Structure 1
Amino acid sequence: MATRDLSIGMMFLLQTIIGILGNFSLVYHFLFLYFTGCKFRSTDLILKHLTVANLLVILSKGVPETMAAFGLKLFLKDIGCKLVFYVHRVGRDVSIGTTCLLSVFQVIMISPSNSRWAELKVKAPNYTGASNILCWILNMMLNILVPFHMTDKRNNTNIRKKIDHGYCYAVFSGNIITQSLYILLVLFSHGFCLVLMVWASGSMIFLLHRHQQRVQYIHRNNLTPRSSLEIRATQSILVLVCTFVSLWTLSSIFLICLAFFNKPSLWLKNVSTLIAACFPTVSPYILMSHDPRVSRFCFA
């Protein structure tokens, strides 16, 4: 095995291990809170769905990419390629959707009681479960065409247009109009979520700034515990959303470069894949670092 392939394989392996450990630590954190009788936050249900989606992304992308980088190219059959890429697309899109839902939900919850969100602020916690389930269903339906475009490398197809992912082929055949409409639909859904996240981030910054101005004459120790917890929760979600938007923008730039070049280099492909998997890897550490319940014992 070449030194370059070994280095790439080690990077994928390290990222996959860090991501799996981080997300399983977050799962353990929620289980610990449940069995010790802690009171859950209104955003915890959304975070659980986000953690599951991130795990699906890491397992369906990080593990195959690591195996392919270490020289294992034919470990998936046709059904395996279809399943792995379908799970990855669904997990990735659910991760985007739940991050968007999380940011919008937090803006509603921290809005003043006399704002236009006052009525929705009371009802919003009752709809988080249904909203998460709807997010899963919509993304499973949206990506239903993905398995039809994936095949294993043993299939010596004569289709001219195909993309080699190292361990599977993505083939493109059929109606160009249908494929274009599908791509536009995916881009619209991603763009819509991104716009909502940017709006929610700006709104959270504005609300936090106004809150800071309102209590600037009060000593920090005189803040109520509830107010302090709400501020920390908002800050963690704000950091999470800003991280997502930054990584999504960087990943999109690399994807455009991949589409622009006829024969993109292996380095460009690998860097693009590593960046695309960064958010599922780092997001649990961002959430746990801003959650005071992680660093102290909680009793029923």
Structure 2
Amino acid sequence: MDLCVTIKGVSFLLQTGMGILGNAVVLLAYAHIIFTEPKLLPVDMILCHLAFAHLMLMLTRGVPQTLTVFGYTDLFNDAGCKVIIFSYRISRALSVCITCMLSVFQAVTVAPAGPRLSKLKSALPSLVLPTFAGLWLLNSAIYFQTFFHAKAPRNGTIPAFTINVGFCHVDFKNSLTYIIKGVLSSGRDFCFVALMVASSVYILLLLHHHSHQMKAIRRSQGGGAETRAAKSVVTLVVLYVLFFGIDNIIWIYMLTETKVSPVVADMRVFFSSCYASLSPYFIISSNKKIKTKILCAVEQDQPASMDTQESHDK
């Protein structure tokens, strides 16, 4: 096997393995929290849904991409491609939408209370599930046409206006459909990224210019937790915007070049999945609830292992 292919395959394998493991751990930790606590905070509900979207993304794009790199191309038939491409696009869209939702909800949470804002703060828990439903419906409407365009790879020349992801093809038939898809998808991404950046900038300004108020909040119940959560959300947004920027820089380069090296296309796929792969580890390290559940599970497992070893020794 060529060295370049080996490096590429190992890179995708590590990224996919890390992404699946990290997001699965976050989901399992939250599953345990749901059974032991009366209810989740809005931020925890959003982080749980974000981990689910990222796990779905790694399974629908990371796994097939890794297998394709190692030569397994005939993975799906037409029906399988329709389902896998639709699921990938929904999960990728949910990644940006839920990260934006997280930053907006956190901005409202840490904002100084006022007559109108107090009502919104108290309504936040009841708004989480309807917002999830709205995001699913929005992105399903945008990507429903995938069921008409996705198909298994065919031998021969790839038609114009066809996106080749290796394990599947997405044939848009004509330039108008291709442009409409690109405008809807890109327009949604940039709108949500702009909103999450604005929310994060507001949080940073609030933390910077109202230091005395934030000290008072820290002394009150839950204030310190809200401040730490706000900083964690801003860091997640920065992480997303970083990889989103790299992804779009490569995409713009691909649009301006007539012949693009497959290595460049693979780099775009890799960087577009980095956020889904790395974000769960930041969530684990910065979220006390999840960290506590993992440490408790490890501590419970260690005595059991020691007891088993002692019984064998006897």
Q: Which of these residues, 243, 247, 250, is aligned with residue 247 of structure 1?
A: 243
- For 1:3-50, what per-residue CA distance to the aligned partner results, in whole angstroms no more than 9, with x for missing partners? 211111111000000000100110111022123337532211112221
- For 1:186-233, what per-residue CA distance to the aligned partner results, in whole angstroms no more than 9, with x for missing partners? 2221121111111101111012123424466x8x9x834511111111
Aligned to 2:306: none
1:243 CA drift (Å): 0.8
Which is further off, 51-60 or 259-268?
259-268
Q: 1:145 corresponds to which letter in structure 2? A: Q
Q: 2:26 corresponds to which letter in structure 1? A: L
Aligned to 2:226: 230
Distance 1:7 1:267, change over 3 A: same
Aligned to 2:59: 59
Distance 1:140 1:155, change over 3 A: farther
1:178 CA drift (Å): 3.9
What is the correspondence of 1:1-300 to structure 2 with a 5 Å cutoff? 1-37=1-37, 40-114=40-114, 116-154=116-154, 156=156, 159-174=159-174, 176-214=175-213, 223-224=219-220, 226-296=222-292
TM-score, L = length of structure 1: 0.90
Aligned to 2:307: none
Q: 1:14 corresponds to which letter in structure 2? A: L
Q: 2:255 corresponds to which letter in structure 1? A: A
1:268 CA drift (Å): 0.6
Contact 1:237–1:287 (CA under 8 A) maintained in structure 2: no
Which is further off, 118-127 or 132-141?
118-127
Aligned to 2:311: none
1:179 CA drift (Å): 3.4
Contact 1:111–1:118 (CA under 8 A) maintained in structure 2: no
Give the % identical residues.
29
Distance 1:170 1:234, change over 3 A: same
Count of matched residue pairs: 295
Q: CA RMSD in A?
A: 2.3
Contact 1:86–1:143 (CA under 8 A) maintained in structure 2: yes
TM-score, L = length of structure 2: 0.86
1:181 CA drift (Å): 2.7
Distance 1:215 1:125, change over 3 A: closer
Distance 1:39 1:168, change over 3 A: closer
In 2, the alpha carbon distance for the partners of 1:10 and 1:158 equals 28
Distance 1:97 1:25, change over 3 A: same
Distance 1:225 1:116, change over 3 A: closer
Contact 1:150–1:170 (CA under 8 A) maintained in structure 2: yes
Contact 1:232–1:291 (CA under 8 A) maintained in structure 2: no
Contact 2:207–2:214 (CA under 8 A) maintained in structure 1: no
Which is further off, 117-126 or 25-34?
117-126
In 1, the alpha carbon distance for the partners of 2:273 and 2:196 equals 19
Unaligned runs of 5+ in 1: none
1:64 CA drift (Å): 0.6
Q: 1:133 corresponds to which letter in structure 2? A: A
1:155 CA drift (Å): 5.5
Contact 2:161–2:178 (CA under 8 A) maintained in structure 1: no
Distance 1:111 1:39, change over 3 A: same
Contact 2:42–2:124 (CA under 8 A) maintained in structure 1: no
- For 1:171-192, what per-residue CA distance to the aligned partner results, in whole angstroms no more than 9, with x for missing partners? 2313x33432332222221121
Distance 1:259 1:115, change over 3 A: farther
In 1, the alpha carbon distance for the partners of 2:158 and 2:240 equals 39
